[in-house]
Amino acid sequence: MPLHCLRSIAIGVPNVDAVRAFYRDFGLDEVAPGRFASADGGEQLLIESAPLRSLLALCVGVDDADDLARAAASLAHLGVEAERSSRALRASEPISGVRVELAIGPRAAQKPAPPLETNGPGRSVRVDARSRAVQGRAAGRPRRLGHVVLGSNDAPAARRFFVEGLGFGVSDEVPAFGAAFLRCSSDHHNLLVQPSPVPFLHHTAWEMDDVDAVGHAAAAMVAADPSRHVWGLGRHGIGSNYFWYLRDPAGTFAEYMSDLDVIADEEAWKVAASGGAHPLAAWGPPVPREFLAPDDVAALARG
Ligand SMILES: [Fe+2]
């Protein structure tokens, strides 16, 4: 796939200072006011002032100028205007107005997380030693931005823009929700577009070392402010990742996740239409109502 990473996002919120404080607690490094870096991905989150919580922009890494030319031709075929420079291509998603930039850049290599030694029936890997997961392990930092989930009042149009226009791959679909899991890297998904009465940013997801890192970080956030808890710990039925969702002060959900499916061979991966398991969770607490229908989005829809 010529697209190789979800490099960064810009989000708009009405309460910038409170949201900045949340993402500092979340483990991102505020390198300048409103500009946040993950441990491996560099600056990946920009927080700006806006009347409503929303995704303003996202940037996707590509390999070379040929990738830009292919996307420019595909967007033109869809009738979408794009602005081209030697290193980037910029266009806006026609319905929500989200600004998307394809930017030429190197493929990132992450330093592998140290494997957590786990014992199981007939398999004793950690012997004569307590688990590292219970020995005063501090909440780790998010390693990188994983994905964003958008609500769109024209999800099919948004899907055409990202898939046919920009070259995102389709990994799985949930026809019952009209949702598609899309990727711009080997991650199972970097973007999900789901139908919504109004455009909004449902959540961002951040990769942690492992499930214990998800648990440590989320538990620390909830201990500091129990109202942050939304849903977790669980394991998604699509993408396979562990998840724990929190709520930022603007109402957008922020997910710690680990162990997402990786798609390296596009021929080997078979796109499924939700499959037999519950698509949202293979296991976990019941899905909160607000996760499916956030209160502020319902209020926006009512005008
Ligand atoms: Fe997610």
Q: Above 70 in pLDDT, residue 108?
A: yes
CA of 48 to the centre of ligand 1 (A): 22
CA distance 230 to 287: 9
Model confidence band, residue 297 (pLDDT cutoffs 50, 70, 90): confident
CA of 238 to the centre of ligand 1 (A): 10
List beta partners, residue 38: 42
| Chain Cα centroid distance, residue 286 | 21
Average pLDDT value for the chain: 93
CA of 31 to the centre of ligand 1 (A): 25
User: What tokens were used for 176?
Assistant: 């019952």
Q: Above 70 in pLDDT, residue 289?
A: yes
Nearest to 211 by CA among 171, 259, 268: 259
Model confidence band, residue 275 (pLDDT cutoffs 50, 70, 90): low
CA of 205 to the centre of ligand 1 (A): 5
pLDDT digits (tens, 9 = 90+) for 181-230: 999 999 999 999 999 998 999 999 999 999 999 999 999 999 999 999 99
Residue 40 near residue 144, CB atoms below 8 Å: yes
pLDDT digits (tens, 9 = 90+) for 30-47: 999 999 999 999 999 999
| pTM to 2 decimal places | 0.95
CA of 149 to the centre of ligand 1 (A): 7
